[in-house]
Structure 1
């Protein structure tokens, strides 16, 4: 999908370059405040997520679960950097209690507008399960204040979905990104991080966002959360085959090429470059 004519990707990159370190999220927020017509917004969920929820339910688990006392509850799904919230609405249509997190108040308002105007695009998938609750949250992914505001503990999410969040962050934040996922994800096997890896086919030395996000980068960062990962002069991860995974790291339990994805994740003749990976805590 081509960016809207009134949006200059190079201008966005130059704008974000003025926000250094952890102020990077403020740069994204300021773009949302300027308007809600942004080039990373495809307007509908990636079909790879829908297919995952249908075809890999045995891996990620369904929307309903039982406590030890036999009572049932809805499992919680989080989408950090949810944009307009389309993935959140999709998860809720499957029956999960779905939470959309954005740093920008403008993005949260865009989510609420999307839900009010287009909920009919997300029909309930199973009437016996029903629709999950939708919660929009304004907060910093790396801070616990928003968790306290919604009364969810650390390690309280059964599903976390990361699509255009990893690739949108400045690479210097990737160790912190990986560590934060270990803090949010429920214990294994209940907690599953679903990563839709994009863009895998971009030149690693090309400027971002989106930054090149090959599968190897996800593996190294999520296997060694919080640790510095070395990239070579070509922008490629220098993986050490003898390096043991961190005990607090995540383990990849599934990895595949989806049958469907957004056109932006495809090359010539419709060749799909995107991959889906599922991760769990090692505990």
Structure 2
């Protein structure tokens, strides 16, 4: 697949978003979408690391179709917050999940619908016996419950959540809120699994964002202590060994270096810096 060429660079994005503080940060992203900008890290196709994870980690993530207590089959629900043009949503649906793509901007939702219509033939059904899941695009604020009501999904109603260029797109001050929200959306263990494709791990920790430097340690600290402030020194997370993980937090059940990833997740000589992690609720 061809990679769309960005018509805005990272410095321009950072300058524009600096004008939106606190909870208004999401409005800055909406403004970028309204201008029709291709972002520098928009690859135009799903990260192959997600595709590999859905195949290789199926015993951990679970099948797309499950059976309830009454013996009735149902499709498990997968959510991609900050889904961009929706390519990961389309991939999850091709594996059989009922997939939901969430974006704050109406312009982004229109971009998702266009992507779905023009690339329908590219997302082949992976298992004919299972079939494809339903795709739902929803406009809303990740931190609000209004969009859940719109689609009729309760809190803790998603079996799979995929986070790639969402954590790194948020201002770091929003990370405690980000982690807490995942605990509110994810189904109980072991059915509920949060898949994080950790990027960019190799960026200078003091460099401006987005994308903000996002180390594996940052994911661990925030998801282990959702809603709590995490200490950073010069952009680096400082772990407190005396602080036990929160009972309400998530625990990491898998962590690995993917065999394949987007070029932006690689360093010199093709060394892969990205990591993939899977998380579940503790209780």
Same fold (TM over 0.5): yes
1:22-101 → structure 2 map (5 Å cutoff):
22-101=23-102
Q: Render the CA deviation track for 1:87-139: whole Å, top value 9, x for unaligned.
A: 00000000000000000000000000000111111000000000000000000
**How far did 1:5 drift?**
5.8
Distance in 1, Cα, partners of 2:16 & 2:113: 26
Shift in alpha-carbon separation, 1:136–1:154, aligned structure 2, 3 A: same
**Which stretch of the first structure deviates more once superposed, 109-118 or 4-13?**
4-13
1:1-283 → structure 2 map (5 Å cutoff):
4=5, 6-232=7-233, 234-283=234-283
CA RMSD, 1 decimal? 1.2
Distance in 2, Cα, partners of 1:160 & 1:8: 28
**How far did 1:39 drift?**
1.8
**How far did 1:7 drift?**
1.4
Distance in 1, Cα, partners of 2:268 & 2:141: 37
Distance in 2, Cα, partners of 1:153 & 1:139: 15
TM-score by length of structure 2 reads 0.98
TM-score by length of structure 1 reads 0.98
Q: Render the CA deviation track for 1:216-245: whole Å, top value 9, x for unaligned.
A: 00000000000000001x210010112100
Give aligned pairs, total: 282
Distance in 1, Cα, partners of 2:6 & 2:54: 34
Any unmatched runs of 5+ in structure 2? none
Q: Confirm or deny: 8 A CA contact 2:4 2:44 kept in the other structure.
A: no
Q: Confirm or deny: 8 A CA contact 1:36 1:110 kept in the other structure.
A: no
Residue 152 of structure 1 aligns to a residue whose secondary structure is coil
**How far did 1:20 drift?**
0.2
Distance in 1, Cα, partners of 2:94 & 2:168: 26
**How far did 1:37 drift?**
2.3
Residue 280 of structure 2 aligns to a residue whose secondary structure is strand
Q: Confirm or deny: 8 A CA contact 2:201 2:213 kept in the other structure.
A: yes
Distance in 2, Cα, partners of 1:227 & 1:92: 34
Distance in 1, Cα, partners of 2:69 & 2:5: 51
Shift in alpha-carbon separation, 1:120–1:3, aligned structure 2, 3 A: closer
Q: Confirm or deny: 8 A CA contact 1:36 1:107 kept in the other structure.
A: no
Any unmatched runs of 5+ in structure 1? none
Residue 205 of structure 2 aligns to a residue whose secondary structure is coil
Distance in 1, Cα, partners of 2:272 & 2:15: 29
Distance in 2, Cα, partners of 1:209 & 1:45: 20
**How far did 1:247 drift?**
0.5
Distance in 2, Cα, partners of 1:110 & 1:38: 13
